[in-house]
């Protein structure tokens, strides 16, 4: 088996320690690759390369048009190798190949979007208080960026960070999740092919408490962009204070999906399924808290349960599969534990709540789609992010109550509202305290729309123009073209 290496200063290298890690297919626990396992030493080498490339190289001062052309080339290469990338992503995560193909289209779209807007910011001339002067505001790259990604959407999350960082002239060190690095490794090959100069983009593989911690604490890193869990995010925030790094945090969610009785019933049922069971619920924006108007509650739950009964679990490479496995044995245990807690807390388990019995699924980390009714906001299954295929159902009688339930969370990432009353929908959207509100839609991301959370779901935004701004510093330059003495002293 080919051993995958890290990419530091334009070279494919093994870990200094010589350590490696096995990458497992969560469908059957087959070893699909061996990858270098870096640690603090490798991270330091990569940071040094990125620092030198930023301080002494040409990348930061290369024209934005030229950088945009390289970012566009990366998009083209991703499109060229889409099938290989999609298969790698499914091998690594267990998600269906169809979903991985959609991810690759989205990822190429993100690189294209940032390629297109890279050279559209010409700064701004602003009014000056003195005559014969020019006062301008410009945006410059931040410097060396540490980028840390999770395992659920390995390459999609990486693209949200790589494309804007490169387009704006930063240098970077990326650390993908240690359990799903394969597509990120492949994209670094494509970035090399596209002409990203040596030292500009570096890849270090390894664990969070070594490589990730080094990126967060090293004073040569100017910005940390992190996507992952809330507890890790808090640690990184603390660590990053060492040199007051710029921070962008995309953390978890416990997202409400509010359905009013006047919504299109069948569409709302279908989309409520999709909102949670897509990628086995391992989505930060999964609509796990289903909040139903009392008058449709029973019928809605029954319709959901009917459809859940027939869901097909299996290999991501089987076209009939609707839901793949969870990512790891450890994560499966966490989801099981969470369901047991729900039962103890008094929630009513109406379907699922265990591993499937199908003998063909026994080697994989599968868990049945699960629905709890009679849930209340004091239950930890309603408050904590499970990151699995679990719906908790709550009931409301009035619009005010629906909003209050939707907002009763430490998180504020995203949420949905289903109703045919557009005025009511807008009223709800205004009151919902989250970074994204979908009306009669769920889980729709696209490059133009900013993504990020209110409350403890994070700081800053990815995607859209704001996603580009995260990677820039704003500078004001004033030139006095006729300086004269002040004669004050
Ligand atoms: P995680 O926090 O365990 O790990 C994320 C990354 O952080 C990994 O690369 C990991 O190695 C690294 N890490 C771990 N400890 C670290 C430390 N001390 N210092 C620096 N880095 C460290 O998260 P996960 O389990 O990989 O991903 C699931 C989480 O990600 C969920 O909470 C999910 O909601 C969140 N997520 C959020 C978004 C978003 O856009 N808001 C998107 C995807 C996933």
pLDDT digits (tens, 9 = 90+) for 52-74: 999 999 999 999 999 999 999 99
- Condensed to tens digits (0 to 9), the pLDDT of residues 342-391 reads 999 999 999 999 999 999 999 999 999 999 999 999 999 999 999 999 99
Q: What is the pLDDT of residue 312?
A: 97
Name residue 7's beta-bridge partners: 12, 203
- Condensed to tens digits (0 to 9), the pLDDT of residues 78-121 reads 999 999 999 999 999 999 999 999 999 999 999 999 999 999 99
Could you tell me which residues come within 8 angstroms of residue 79 by beta carbon, excluding any fewer than 6 positions away?
104, 108
Mean pLDDT for all residues in the chain = 97
- Condensed to tens digits (0 to 9), the pLDDT of residues 186-200 reads 999 999 999 999 999
Nearest to 146 by CA among 167, 172, 185: 172
How far apart are alpha carbons 29 and 27 in whole angstroms?
Answer: 6
Q: How far is CA 49 from the centre of its chain?
A: 26
In the chain, domain spans? 3-251+457-476, 256-439
Q: What is the pLDDT of residue 411?
A: 98
Q: How confident is the model at residue 463 (pLDDT cuts 50, 70, 90)?
A: very high
| pTM reported for the whole predicted model | 0.97
How far apart are alpha carbons 81 and 88 in whole angstroms?
Answer: 11
- Check 145, 284, 375, 428 and give the catalytic one: 284
Q: Which of 229, 285, 435 to mutate to test the pocket of ligand 1 (most atoms within 8 A of CB)?
A: 229
Q: Is 3-251+457-476 assigned to CATH 3.20.20.140?
A: no
How far apart are alpha carbons 329 and 332 in whole angstroms?
Answer: 5
How far apart are alpha carbons 21 and 93 in whole angstroms?
Answer: 16
State mean pLDDT over 138-144. Answer: 98
What's 256-439's CATH class? alpha beta
Q: How confident is the model at residue 25 (pLDDT cuts 50, 70, 90)?
A: very high
Residue 148 has pLDDT above 90, yes or no: yes
Atom number, ligand 1, closest to the C-alpha of residue 206: 11
Name residue 312's beta-bridge partners: none
- Measured by CA distance, the residue closest to atom 41 of ligand 1 is 250
Q: What is the pLDDT of residue 3?
A: 79
- Measured by CA distance, the residue closest to atom 43 of ligand 1 is 284
Residue 1 has pLDDT above 60, yes or no: no
- Condensed to tens digits (0 to 9), the pLDDT of residues 161-170 reads 999 999 999 9
Q: How far is CA 239 from the centre of its chain?
A: 21
Q: Judge whether 145 counts as a catalytic residue.
A: no
127 CA distance to ligand 1 centroid (A)?
44
How far apart are alpha carbons 104 and 92 in whole angstroms?
Answer: 14
Q: What is the pLDDT of residue 2?
A: 65
Pocket around ligand 1 at a 6 A CB cut-off: 148-153, 157, 175, 177-178, 207-209, 212-213, 216, 227-229, 232, 235-236, 250-253, 284, 385, 387, 413, 453, 458
Q: Which two tokens stand for residue 75?
A: 């998009």
How far apart are alpha carbons 356 and 368 in whole angstroms?
Answer: 6
């Amino acid at each position: 088996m080919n051993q995958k290496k890290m990419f530091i200063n334009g070279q494919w290298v093994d870990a200094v320690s010589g350590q490696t890690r096995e990458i497992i297919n969560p469908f059957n626990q087959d070893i699909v690759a061996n990858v270098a396992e870096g640690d603090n030493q490798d991270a330091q080498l990569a940071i040094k390369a990125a620092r030198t490339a930023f301080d002494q190289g040409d990348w930061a001062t290369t024209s934005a048009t030229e950088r945009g052309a390289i970012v566009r080339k990366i998009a083209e290469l991703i499109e060229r190798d889409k099938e290989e990338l999609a298969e790698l992503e499914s091998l690594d995560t267990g998600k269906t190949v169809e979903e991985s193909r959609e991810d690759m289209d989205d990822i190429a779209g993100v690189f294209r979007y940032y390629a297109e807007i890279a050279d559209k910011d010409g700064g701004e001339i602003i009014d000056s208080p003195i005559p014969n002067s020019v006062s301008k505001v410009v945006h410059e790259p931040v410097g060396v960026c540490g980028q840390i990604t999770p395992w659920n959407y390995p390459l999609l999350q990486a693209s949200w960070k790589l494309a804007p960082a490169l387009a704006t002239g930063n240098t970077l060190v990326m650390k993908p999740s240690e359990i799903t690095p394969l597509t990120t490794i492949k994209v670094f090959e494509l970035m090399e092919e596209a002409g990203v100069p040596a030292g500009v983009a570096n890849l270090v593989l390894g664990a969070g408490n070594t490589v990730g911690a080094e990126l967060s604490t090293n004073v040569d890193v100017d910005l940390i962009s992190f996507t992952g869990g809330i507890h890790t995010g808090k640690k990184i925030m603390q660590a990053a204070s060492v040199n007051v790094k710029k921070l962008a945090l995309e953390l978890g969610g416990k997202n409400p999906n509010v359905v009013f009785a006047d919504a299109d019933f069948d569409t709302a049922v279908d989309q409520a399924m999709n909102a949670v069971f897509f990628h086995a619920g391992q989505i930060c924006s999964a609509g796990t808290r289903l909040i139903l108007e009392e008058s449709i509650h029973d019928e809605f739950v029954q319709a959901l349960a009917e459809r859940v009964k027939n869901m097909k679990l299996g290999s991501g490479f089987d076209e009939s599969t609707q839901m793949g496995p969870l990512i790891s044995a450890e994560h499966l245990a966490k989801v099981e534990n969470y369901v047991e807690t729900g039962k103890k807390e008094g929630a009513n388990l109406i379907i699922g709540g265990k591993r499937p019995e199908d003998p063909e699924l026994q080697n994989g980390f599968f868990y049945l789609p699960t629905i709890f009714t009679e849930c209340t906001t004091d239950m930890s299954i309603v408050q904590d992010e499970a990151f699995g295929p679990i719906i908790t159902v709550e009931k409301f009688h009035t619009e005010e109550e629906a909003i209050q339930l939707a907002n009763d969370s430490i998180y504020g990432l995203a949420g949905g509202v289903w109703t045919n009353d557009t005025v009511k929908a807008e009223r709800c959207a205004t009151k919902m305290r989250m970074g994204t509100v979908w009306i009669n839609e769920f889980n729709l991301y696209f490059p133009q729309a900013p993504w990020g959370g209110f409350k403890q779901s994070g700081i800053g935004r990815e995607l859209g123009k704001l996603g580009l701004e995260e990677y820039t510093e704003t500078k004001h330059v004033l030139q006095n073209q006729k300086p004269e003495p002040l004669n004050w002293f």
